[in-house]
Structure 1
Amino acid sequence: MGQVTLQDVAEHAGVSMKTVSNVVRGYRHVSDAMRTRVQQSIDALGYRPNVSGRSLATGRTNMLAFAFPDLRRPYFAELAHVFSRVCADRGYQLLLEETAGAPGGELSAVRGREAGVVDGVVIHPQVLTPTEIDSARGDTAVVFLGEDVRPPGSDLVAIDNVLAASEAVAHLAALGRRRIGFLGHEVGEQSRTSAFRLEGYRDGLTAAGLPFDASLCVAREVGDARGAEHAFGQALDAGLSIDGLLCRDDLAAVGALRAMRLRGLEAPRDIAVVGWDAIGLAASLVPSLTSVAPDTVALAEAALDRLQERIAGRPGEGRAVTVGHRILVGESAPYPDGSVD
């Protein structure tokens, strides 16, 4: 057989060419049964869409971009994996763009459509303002992740960082912890993520009837596990006395646990520790890490729902979508009865 065509797939599946096209493009209105039927024919015949030809005919590439600060951070690496799977399920290819949290990298990402490379971009911005993003993106369909920095009329998908941090503090307070610290925000100007998580930390203290003490909040100069270990170790050596700790992210928690171990302290005996992101490594630590777990699948699904609507040109005001989270309880801060998830 020569090159397999769209018509070949349609005849094999007993459906119209438009239905096959809709499946290939990942349109959501195709039923699961029909999608499976067409996909079986695609697999059986070995059909491969002609992306360049389709791009010329439709002005679309069927490729999306996911732009994020740093692939070395486990959370973003794992989130990129989730996005890749969800995109594949919808018939899209995914281009990963590491912005390094720098203006140039973020500008390049939101300008992707101008180069004819991608149909739309999901971005987790770190430094660009809404005005800068709006002026740079042209007609690129963009959906934002994280804190609300979207230009007017744009879409945002995020978890509620303030609520999640407050719930994490409540979990520690339920264990009887009364001197609860925070670890991992930036030295000097704070990122938007850190600011919201610190706000939730303070809300949680207030709800638990505990005072806020700025001396219990430990910043780190370098945003990785070593930076957290160094900062927390110095604080402990200087006399920091806490019995509970909420960390900005799991890397900060990893650093905290190491700093504690080197000083003869254990979690949860001496300090109950809660991380953030529920990275794969968290469950393999000793002790296993209690962590705020964002629903990354729901986040990716919601972001791509909005992006596909924008690509299709559907009108509507931009909106913020909040996805769920949970406290995944491990040994570092178990339930009051000592059990874990």
Structure 2
Amino acid sequence: MILTGLAIGQIGEFAFILSRSGIEYGLLGPDLEQVFLAVSVGTMTVAPFVIASAPRVTSAVRRLPLPGWLKARDAALKVAPANGPKKGHIVIVGFGPMGRHVADAARSTGVPYMAIELNPKTVREERKKGEPIFFGDAIHEGVLSHVGVEGARVVVITIPNADTARHVTAIARKMNPKCAIITRTRYMEDSLSLYTLGADEVICEEFETAAEVLMRVLIKYPVPKTDIDRLVASMRTDRYEMLREASEQVPSLRDIELHLDNAAISIVRVEEGAPIAGKTLAETNLRQKYDVTVLAIRRGAETLAGPDGGTMIEAGDLCILIDAGRGNGEISPLFRRGSDAVSSLSPKNQSEQT
């Protein structure tokens, strides 16, 4: 109700049409007409800013200690099903058209899932159909805990609001470092922040729509399918391609990680001026000193799988690492600019490698 009220609270153009009838019938005097015009122009001016801040205001109000009678109506919807899955399931955040498609696919393949939805009407309707869904705002850790995000294998965030998606992505990653997080976004400019916050894959509507339109246009002409595929692939040569293809490595790597005891897989970017930049893998001494192995290096549009000791590490590289977890120190300073970890790559350590 709060979100809807903020969205439609301004006086619209139709009010001016009604005001003319009021003036004609003497219901709106000259003085009151001027007040009406001032209020109308003022609300129309601030309307874009009010609508933009509406989700945050709504979330803030929901955190207030509201009276019990006000919360009682939807209290039952906030209780997750008692027999819901606890491990290895999918958590679907948002049960709009995209969330429903994910649920349909999971149900047809026998994959367990739980859904969170902020619209109480949708929750009531879907619960009647037997859907494992409950009412709540996923920006709260307690809500995500209700659906067992700590034991989930995949978290799918389908909500269109970019700020909320970033918030939920960060919380889900914090609560479950090993799960795969797939996040939806409308614009490519939001992709980088979602990856930074922990998303494994970001599905960008802007990019996917452009690719689909390109394919549909070319299908109308005698263009071979191989050429169409090639042209669509060429759209992935920009920054979005690098981020998306790098993320494609993560789910399969996380699957491997689940079967390795005391091992962790991570992706680290080599910053400009980092101690490790400009050195070969043999010179870095990562395996001997840190029990860390470089599985692959993502360099622009190229992926170097299974690099050998002579492979040079360059600034901007995305290094996919597997850490044996023997507690031999933190290696992240080696990849950061201005780090004082240069001693870790000293000639003494290099001689030990040889």
Ranked by relative contact order (alpha carbons within 8 Å, sequence separation 6 or more), the top structure is 1
Same fold (TM over 0.5): no
Structure ID, larger Rg: 2
Give the helix-richer structure, 1 or 2: 2
Per the normalisation by structure 2, the TM-score is 0.28
Per the normalisation by structure 1, the TM-score is 0.29
